[in-house]
Structure 1
C-alpha cells in the first residue's frame, strides 16, 4: 500500500498535520515597520491599534498615539472588530495598523479584520519587543506612553 493511497493511516496523518501547520502560520498581508507605523500614526495616515493585554500595556507602556483594543474581547473576533471599527469612526476602509508584542498575534487579528470587511489593515512587524521579522518599537527607541491604569 502506498503512503498516499486512500485508506492509508499515514496519508490521513500527513494531511491533518499539513492543515494544522497551515492554520498556525501568520497570514501574509500588508505590513509596516515600526518606524513606518510611527511616522504614519504621527501624520494621521493610519490609526495604530495595540492589541495586547492590559498586563502587557502596564509592563511596557504603549506605542505613542496607539489606541488600546485587547484582542481577547469578550465577544471574540466579532467584538474585537466592532471595537476597532469604533476607533476608526465606523470606516472599514480607514487605514489601521495592528501592533502586538512581536507581530504574530497582530497578523492573526489582521486576518480576522480582513475577513470581516476591513480593507486596509497593516501588521506592524516586530511589534513592541522585536522578533526575527523586525527590531521592534522599544528597541528602535520610539516613544512609549505609560499606561499605569490599563
Structure 2
C-alpha cells in the first residue's frame, strides 16, 4: 500500500508542475477561444461568424482568400480591434484565419482577454482549407486589401 501512495503522490506533483508550467508559459486556453476546422464552404456560409484573414496582402494575392472574409493584417491587438470593430456585430463570433494556424493561435490568445466575442482559431489555416479543395476568390479593396 505505501508504494501506491508514493506513486499517487508523484503523479499529483508532476500534474501540478505541468499545470503551473502551462499557465506560466501562456499556453492556458482562454474560455472564449476555440480551435475549429470548418471547411471553406462552411466558412463562406456561416453568418454567425465574422471571418478575418490576418495574413499580408502579398499572401492574399498569392493564394486567394475565403469569399466574404474581411482582410486585416494582424499587427497588434489594439490596431486589429480598431479595424474590425465596424464589422463585428453584437453576438457574432470572431473567426481568425492565416496561412497555417500559427499566427491565428497567437492572435487568438492576445485578443481573448480583451474581447467579449467568442474567438475562433481556424485550425490549419488556408493551407488546410485549400488542401480540402476550396476554390478561393481574389482579394479586393472592398474586402480590405489596400493594394489589390
Matching residue of 1:45: 48
**Residue 110 of structure 1, aligned match among 108, 111, 115:** 108
Specify whether residues 124 and 26 from structure 1 end up closer, same or farther in structure 2 by C-alpha distance, changes over 3 A only: farther
Give the match's secondary structure for 1:71. coil
CA distance in 1, matches of 2:122, 2:53: 10
Deviation at 1:46, TM superposition (A): 1.2
Instruction: Say how many residue pairs are matched.
Output: 119
TM-score by length of 1: 0.68
Gaps of 5+ in 1: 1-17, 130-135
2:130: which partner in 1?
138
Q: Once the 2 structures are TM-superposed, how far is the Cα of residue 45 of structure 1 from its aligned partner?
A: 2.0
Q: Which has the larger radius of gyration?
A: 2
In the alignment, structure 2 segments of 5+ residues that lack a partner are: 1-20, 141-146
* Equivalence for 1:12: none
1:64 corresponds in structure 2 to 67
Deviations 1:67-103 (A, max 9, x none): 101102xxx32011121222214x3x42111000011
Please tell me whether the aligned partners of residues 41 and 47 of structure 1 are also in contact (alpha carbons under 8 angstroms): no
| Superposition map of 1:26-37 within 5 A | 29-35=33-39
Q: Which has the higher helix share?
A: 2
